[in-house]
Amino acid sequence: MAVSFPNLAAIFDHGYDTIIDVRSPDEFAEDHVPGAINLPVLSNEERAVVGTIYVQDSPFKARKVGAALVAKNAADHIAGPLADHDGGWKPLVYCWRGGQRSGSFTGILQQIGWRADVVDGGYQSYRKLVHAALYSNPLAHRFILLDGNTGSAKTALLARLQDRGIQVIDLEGLANHRGSLLGEMPGGQPHQKGFESALAAALAAADPRLPIVVEAESSKIGQIVLPPQLWSRMKEAPRIEISAPIEARTAFLLDAYADATEQADQDPTALQAKLDLLRHRRGNTIVETWLEHLKSGDMAALATALMTDHYDPAYAQSRKRGADKIRHVVKARSLDTAGQECAADEIAQLIKTMSV
């Protein structure tokens, strides 16, 4: 049976035991329904071959070759990852358009006796719902921004606020990027569509009666672009600013950016290339000082210099545009575990008293 979903909440709360994406691994990597598993009935290479036959030879031959490959790959999945499911298993299957790939695989599962259904319209119908939720339908949510200079533990504080029952969305976590020059994280960033799926799921799960705390960001996090509607709401949202001494911020950064520090030790030329990009903004003298710290391996001095010479001035400039939105300033003496806990307690209490 082909199942239609009227909105994202319905597809996220689909009620099936497993949701299966039978598209190729490349298609799945770009984006997929959150929580879906990938059981491709055509590999990347097989899909390309079938497509070439369809264009250069005939649609009939392409369907015949494709059907043989689908049957073979379906058999491998049934004998492999699906082998332990009992007769009551109820999967939901989708492909690109809800056509031949998902229809064929679902038919085989049904013949076995499993209660399999297929998504009407496939991934494309899901993608339309995501796009509408982020770009067309008005956002029903209100936001509070957690603001502060680089190194003020904003992302870490989001997690502690969530532990205290505050609604949060970690945009940098969804984008897998720390939102700065040295913000790259292991694994790289998701595709834009993948980020949007994760964001739409987070918004759908949030209670619109309560504010959502997000970190103050620019309109881009690495290569990920925030949807204009969300960015507009963020610019107008009230802010809580975190203030901490430079020494505390340096200590926090060295811990939070341990992976970047280790990478710099192994390949200092990569970090040097990034720092060189800032010569036109900060001048040769300042950048050469940074490079001396890098060369000597003094990462604490480098972190401090980057904040005082680059990040803090940039933040001060951007803060002028949102200074009237700052409702409270939380002063953290330290940003170690105890310091973060104290700051999170204070922020949580402030949020409960704020009108948004």
Query: 35: phi > 0 → left, psi -120 to 50 → alpha, else beta; which?
Result: left
Q: Which of 319, 317, 314 lies closest to 278 in space, CA to CA?
A: 314
Residue 342 a catalytic site member: no
Bin 308: left if φ > 0, else alpha if -120 < ψ < 50, else beta. Answer: alpha
CA distance 57 to 40: 24
Q: Which of these is catalytic: 95, 212, 221, 351?
A: 95
Query: In Å, how far are 147, 277, 293, 325 from 273, measured between CA atoms?
Result: 29, 7, 14, 36
Q: Do the Cβ atoms of 154 and 213 come closer than 8 Å?
A: no
d(Cα 164, Cα 343) in Å, to the nearest integer? 12
151: alpha, beta or left? (left if phi > 0; alpha if psi -120 to 50): left
| DSSP 3-state of 338 | helix
DSSP class of residue 97 equals S
Cα separation, 184 vs 176, in Å, equals 8
Active site residues: 95
